[in-house]
Amino acid sequence: MICTMRERVTFEEETPTPDGGGGSTTAWGNISTTPTVWAEVKPVRGSEAVDTGHLASKQMYLVTIRHRTDITTAMRIVWGSVYMNIRATQNRDMKKKYLTIEAEAGVTQ
């Protein structure tokens, strides 16, 4: 498997922030360990649907990065101005050299 990692992507996770009234709100922020990495980003498929009277488009991507074990489906990827929710992660090679991430843009978490 040859991978051309020419894109920069950043991993974010939701973190609770005190709201000053005894509760908390959540906000997206960079993960603590190496949030920005080189990646190969490939669009896989897209779709459109009417959602609450508006046309909504979704795009699925395969994002390949060097292998790491701290990426979960609770995170999202930021690629330029595109925000992608992570739907699945998997090692596609036996040597665990790369991690392939299925991510979806155009939807809320």
Domains and CATH numbers, the chain: 7-105 (2.40.10.270)
CA distances from 102 to 21, 41, 63 (A): 38, 10, 6
Total residue length of the chain: 109
pLDDT the model gives residue 54: 62
Q: What is the pLDDT of residues 59-108, one digit of tens each?
A: 999 999 999 999 999 999 999 999 999 999 998 667 889 999 999 998 76
- What gap in Å lies between CA 40 and CA 7, rounded to an integer? 6
Confidence (pLDDT) at 108? 63
What is the distance between the alpha carbons of residues 94 and 107, in angstroms, rounded to a whole number? 32
What integer best gives the mean pLDDT of the chain? Answer: 87
Residue 12 clears pLDDT 90, i.e. is over it: yes
Evaluate whether 106 touches 58 at the Cβ level (below 8 Å). yes
